[in-house]
Amino acid sequence: MAQEEKNASDDYIINIEHLNKKFIVDKQPMEVLRDITLQIKKGEFITIVGHSGCGKSTLLKIMCGLVGYEDGIVERNGHAVEGPGPNCGMVFQDHRLLPWLKIKDNVGFGLRGIPKEEKAEKVRKHLEMVGLAGFENSYPAQLSGGMSQRAAIARGLVNNPTILLLDEPFGALDALTRIQMQKEILRIQKEEGTTMVMVTHDIDEAIYLGDRIVVMSARPGEIKEIIKVDKADSRNRGSAGFAAYKKKIYNYFFEDSDEEYEVEYVI
């Protein structure tokens, strides 16, 4: 049957198979990613955790097309990734807003070739989506850290990408703002149906947001495990299920983690 002959990779919005990546450092090849295989379905929320320097940002940049790779398969929407495109947005830890442009112009910066009114409407809609209605004419220096990240998310979504890649987007925010932003990014993901891939060094955040959590080894980054998360557990940060995920992930990073991390069952 034709359906059965269909390539399995057609079902995935991102398909990575046996990806290897090296950088040349001091004229020597340095292995950064080793044999990465990861398939992501449309509408999934994937979180990636791993030690600093294990290649997480590099992996996102490869998915986005900002960085090339030696061998393996990297496909977005069934096509080999050859460079950045409007169907894939990216948000970084530092908001990267241009200080001399108003928020509305920062958010609309990448919108090219559409009528002025349509552009203004898209910018308005996305500022509203991230809770920044009324700040269109502010400059980045006038916004708090959380508001700047909201603007960066609006800029990442303004092209209506099917995929949004987020590289530690809340890493510089205080704990309370961070929790609020986590709830909002989930709401936006549900409303827009965007596939999201987020790198985070915050294990709680990885559990709370991820439908699946990719756990990586130290460099060269290999995938140690992909943990499927039961959302009934993970949306309740005080549940025993949440604590159990946390312990499982801690075990990957700290030997003898019973001493390092005691699970408290709070229900």
Ligand X SMILES: Nc1ncnc2c1ncn2[C@@H]1O[C@H](COP(=O)(O)OP(=O)(O)O)[C@@H](O)[C@H]1O
Residues contributing to the site for ligand X (CB under 6 A): 23, 25, 32, 50, 52-58, 219
Note the Cα 225 to chain centre separation in Å.
18
Picked from ligand X, Mg ion, none, the partner binding residue 76 (CB below 5 to 8 A depending on kind) is none
Q: Which residues of 220-259 are buried (b: 16+ CB within 10 A; e: fewer)?
A: bbbbbeebebeeebbbeeebebbbebbebbeebbeeebee
Q: Which residues of 72-100 are buried (b: 16+ CB within 10 A; e: fewer)?
A: bebbbbeeebeeebeebbbbbbebebeee
Q: Which amino acid is at 156?
A: G
Round to whole Å and give the CA distance between 159 and 200: 24
Nearer CB in complex with ligand X: 15/200:
200
Least spacing, CB of residue 130 vs Mg ion, in Å? 23
Nearer CB in complex with Mg ion: 57/195:
57
Which residue do the tokens 């807003």 mark?
97
∠ CA 252-255-260, nearest 5°, is 100
DSSP run (H or E) holding 234 = helix 231-234
Least spacing, CB of residue 32 vs ligand X, in Å? 5
Nearer CB in complex with Mg ion: 57/234:
57
Nearer CB in complex with ligand X: 57/194:
57
Round to whole Å and give the CA distance between 246 and 228: 13
Residues at the interface with Mg ion (CB under 5 A): 57
Nearer CB in complex with ligand X: 67/186:
67
CB-nearest residue to Mg ion: 57
Nearer CB in complex with ligand X: 58/162:
58
Round to whole Å and give the CA distance between 211 and 190: 13
Picked from Mg ion, ligand X, none, the partner binding residue 146 (CB below 5 to 8 A depending on kind) is none
Least spacing, CB of residue 96 vs ligand X, in Å? 16
Picked from ligand X, Mg ion, none, the partner binding residue 220 (CB below 5 to 8 A depending on kind) is none
Picked from ligand X, Mg ion, none, the partner binding residue 32 (CB below 5 to 8 A depending on kind) is ligand X
Nearer CB in complex with Mg ion: 139/253:
253
Least spacing, CB of residue 214 vs ligand X, in Å? 12
Which residue do the tokens 């495990």 mark?
225
Picked from Mg ion, ligand X, none, the partner binding residue 25 (CB below 5 to 8 A depending on kind) is ligand X
Picked from ligand X, Mg ion, none, the partner binding residue 162 (CB below 5 to 8 A depending on kind) is none
Picked from ligand X, Mg ion, none, the partner binding residue 54 (CB below 5 to 8 A depending on kind) is ligand X
Least spacing, CB of residue 57 vs Mg ion, in Å? 3
Please compute Rg for the chain using Cα positions. 19
Q: Are 89 and 156 in contact (CB under 8 A)?
A: yes
